[in-house]
Amino acid sequence: MTDFDQTTTDIVNERGADYGHPLDDFRRAAALKAVLAECSDPVLRHAMEMICVKLARLIHNPTHLDSINDIGGYARTMLMVIEKRQEHD
């Protein structure tokens, strides 16, 4: 195994402690994101999809502060997009 392979394996294993197995984490995120397909705005939908990823992770570990802070950050970036668009209108 190369150093790169070992490093990525270590990172994935560390994340597993916070987020659970990737199969469970990805399944949850995909299920949450499926509903967002109805959103007609692809830019804001992307931010909402990222929030879904963080929510899926919180299902495994609901006190993981990094994911909670990330949700706040994605919500803030949505406001930034909306404000920037309003400037141009």
Q: What is the pLDDT of residues 39-63, one digit of tens each?
A: 999 999 999 999 999 999 999 999 9
Find, among 50, 60, 45, the residue nearest to 15 by Cα: 60
Write down the residue that tokens 């141009």 correspond to. 88
Nearest alpha carbon to residue 52 among 76, 65, 36: 36
CA distance 54 to 66: 9
> Which two three-digit tokens encode residue 54?
């963080």
Contact 29, 53 (CB under 8 A): yes
Please report, rounded to a whole number, the percentage of residues in the chain having pLDDT higher than 90.
Answer: 76
Structure confidence at residue 15 as a pLDDT band (50, 70, 90): confident
pTM of the model: 0.86
Rounded CA gap, 85 and 39, in Å?
17
